Structure 1
Amino acid sequence: MCNYARIRRRLGTGLAMALLLLGVGCLSPKPFDEAAWHKTVTATDPAKLHAPHQDAEGRYFNPWLPQDKSSWDLFRWWLSRSSLGDLNDADFPTPTVANDGAYLRDPAAPASLTWVGHATYVVQWGGQVVITDPFFSQRAAIVSRLVPPAFGPRALPRGVVVLISHNHYDHLDSDSVAALAGREALFLCPLGLGELLREMGAKQVRELDWWQSTEVGGATFTFLPTQHWSRRLGQGYNESLWGSWMLERGGEKIYYGGDSGYFKGFKEIGRRWPDIDLALLGAGAYQPRWFMHYAHMDVPELFQAFADLGARRLVPTQWGVLDLGDGPAAWPAQDINNYVAKHPQWRGRVLLMPVGGRVLLETGR
């Protein structure tokens, strides 16, 4: 029997009821060959990380390995039983700590990293405040958040630097853009997103291509490739670019990975930026593997990317706040802990932060 609540979360009440009334039952999850997928990734040419990545029609693409998905694949996933069975969000609560963010308005505060929730992190260093993919709203399109943000945009000082990785709703939230634009924020974004950000209210916008850098207030921000894609209402499939960010200041290096499947780019980034201090890598929405493998890493791939980057500490991101894949939103934390228990070489190097958690960059604690 199909789980109505599950389909409703994915499709919305009206369409879910229509499908159920038509007698559509839950499909079985499709099998997936991880070994064959890893062979495909291994066969890609790393030189294509620097190849042209926009076609004659203006659409962007990953030149090392194009995505091959159909609309039916999306609907099949929505109508399939969970690949993780009947696990519930209530059984895997997301850890939270109280944090009003008051220290962010103190330019003399020690350098730190704060998790606001999902992909939203705040870096405070050298009197500068940087925020990644700000998402303060209650919903990302039709998906409701399970845990509120640690604090709102008013906690941030004026002149904050905003890093946008791509245009998906859980990474680019129009209300959050408008709120930060009113605080004189500078938005750094991928190619093709500047006009949309200005429509949302942003006044200061810089668009970057892969491997391009810009300097802001003594820090350098470099936009880097990821294996992903883009689409939202008002922008067609791959009409804007996607990617990740390298943040550098005073010898400190922080890599913010945005959304990405596993690809050889992590090794190239680690080669070009040795001694990364923190790697913030996506650890959510990787099930079911047959559907998610191209654009999201599972836990073994997460640790392979961490190893490829050569970073000192790993901060798993994008878990515990939104139900975007099979299983509970906070299940990845348990999956990561299980993996580390079996691979003790990673003990002490993974920071599973609570929402509202703060890490001092000088000490890693």
Structure 2
Amino acid sequence: MTTRFKNLDGSGPQPFGTVFKWAVADKLAGRRRKSPDHAPVPRVEPDLTLLHTPPAPGEGARLTWLGHASWLVQLDGLSLLIDPVLRDAINVVIRRNVPPGVPIDKLPPIAASLVSHNHYDHLDLPTLVDVGAPIVTGLGHAPVFKGTRLGVTELNWWQSTQVGPVTVHFVPSQHWSRRGLNDANQMLWGGFVVEGSTARVYHSGDTAWFKGFADIGKRFPGLDAALLPIGAYDPEWFMSRQHMNPEDAARAYEALGARRFLAMHWGTFKLTDEPLDEPPRRLDTEWNRRGWPREDLHVLPVGGTLTVRAG
């Protein structure tokens, strides 16, 4: 099957030989870095009473990290989920290092679930079915949801849709997609800009560093928050084509021109070789090296909440 989608630079998925070298050959040969499957990651109990009252128009956006790339984004009276993966494990084998910030049964009513791409650590079908909200995602995803009775809105890069008073824009990322053996890049990957009356929030999805960050920043100036991945980068010879390390994420934040950096995609699932708790330490070092204001950096605990607004 020929690939349907490519990155902005024309690149496609990793060749099978490269994947085999990383996943099998280097592992058997002992060439991969070893680190524990678990590590302490801060988690707080969320204020469920607060979360069940979304900010009204004019009150900005309330952002709650649920772990990994999963967020509860609340603005203009609505609650949205982005990449919700709230079960104990993905693919049965990879178990959570830390419980989700808010369990499914404690979530407020959700107006829509935004899904950046079809990898199992971002598109968890049982979670999405249990939530029961309509789906907003990239082109080609409708077959995943066949038989679920969930409404699906598919978007191309730079297209938008309305969820009540909130505008959801689908924007490029540097990644790839696959959910089965023969569907490489048949479904479009990307990120989201969620735009309300007094807040504009960017969620990158999974992405490597790419020049598209500057394009996103130009099309959506004044981003109040950039939710950026800082984990799943080791070994970098393989992962740098699809994920960012903390230093890459700092470059992305700079290119976007966002006001605040919120870290994600670390500490929840052991997907790659670095220690689960290493990414925030590297990000902290890079932030200090650049001399940026500390108040603009937010490494929330799982379950932690931050409210942002324009101006």
Quickly say closer, same or farther: Cα 1:192–1:354, change in 2 above 3 A. same
Tell me the equivalent position of 1:155.
106
Cα distance between partner residues in 2 of 1:155 and 1:120: 15
Alpha-carbon distance, 1:63 to partner = 4.1
SS in 2 for 1:286: coil
Cα distance between partner residues in 1 of 2:54 and 2:208: 36
**Structure 2: any 5+ residue segments left out of the alignment?**
none
Tell me the equivalent position of 1:173.
124
Cα distance between partner residues in 1 of 2:127 and 2:40: 25
Alpha-carbon distance, 1:89 to partner = 5.3
Tell me the equivalent position of 2:177.
230
Tell me the equivalent position of 2:216.
269
Tell me the equivalent position of 2:5.
60
Quickly say closer, same or farther: Cα 1:324–1:82, change in 2 above 3 A. farther
Cα distance between partner residues in 1 of 2:85 and 2:176: 19
Work out whether 1:124 is the aligned partner of 2:74: yes
Cα distance between partner residues in 1 of 2:99 and 2:31: 25
Cα distance between partner residues in 2 of 1:363 and 1:288: 38
Q: Deviations over 1:276-328 (max 9, x none)?
A: 00000111111111101111112221111100100000011110001111122
Q: Deviations over 1:202-259 (max 9, x none)?
A: 4221111111011111111110111100001376111110000001001311000000
CA contact 1:248–1:254 (8 Å) conserved in 2: yes
Cα distance between partner residues in 2 of 1:282 and 1:361: 19
Tell me the equivalent position of 2:97.
146
Cα distance between partner residues in 2 of 1:267 and 1:125: 25
Q: Deviations over 1:262-286 (max 9, x none)?
A: 1110000101111100000111111
Of the candidates 256, 264, 274, which is equivalent to residue 203 of structure 2? Answer: 256
CA contact 1:215–1:221 (8 Å) conserved in 2: yes
Cα distance between partner residues in 1 of 2:292 and 2:110: 41
- Give the percent of matched residue pairs that are identical in Structure 1 and Structure 2: 36
Matched residue type, 1:157: P
Tell me the equivalent position of 1:70.
15
TM-score (norm 1): 0.77
Rg larger in 1 or in 2? 1
Work out whether 1:329 is the aligned partner of 2:291: no
Tell me the equivalent position of 2:144.
196
Tell me the equivalent position of 2:306.
359
Cα distance between partner residues in 2 of 1:284 and 1:336: 10
Cα distance between partner residues in 2 of 1:349 and 1:107: 23
Work out whether 1:186 is the aligned partner of 2:137: no
Kindly indicate whether structure 1 or structure 2 has the higher relative contact order, using CA contacts under 8 Å at least 6 residues apart.
2
**Hey, which bits of structure 1, 4+ residues long, moved more than 6 A?**
none
Tell me the equivalent position of 1:42.
none
Alpha-carbon distance, 1:162 to partner = 0.8
SS in 2 for 1:167: coil
Cα distance between partner residues in 1 of 2:272 and 2:8: 26
Quickly say closer, same or farther: Cα 1:107–1:334, change in 2 above 3 A. closer
Cα distance between partner residues in 2 of 1:198 and 1:99: 33
Matched residue type, 1:98: E
CA contact 2:69–2:265 (8 Å) conserved in 1: yes
Cα distance between partner residues in 1 of 2:303 and 2:31: 30
Paired residues, number? 303
Alpha-carbon distance, 1:169 to partner = 0.4
Q: Deviations over 1:163-193 (max 9, x none)?
A: 1000000000011011012xxx121011000
SS in 1 for 2:288: helix
Tell me the equivalent position of 2:227.
280
Matched residue type, 2:125: S
Quickly say closer, same or farther: Cα 1:244–1:202, change in 2 above 3 A. farther
TM-score (norm 2): 0.90
Cα distance between partner residues in 1 of 2:179 and 2:35: 30
Quickly say closer, same or farther: Cα 1:279–1:154, change in 2 above 3 A. same
CA contact 1:279–1:306 (8 Å) conserved in 2: yes
Work out whether 1:113 is the aligned partner of 2:60: no
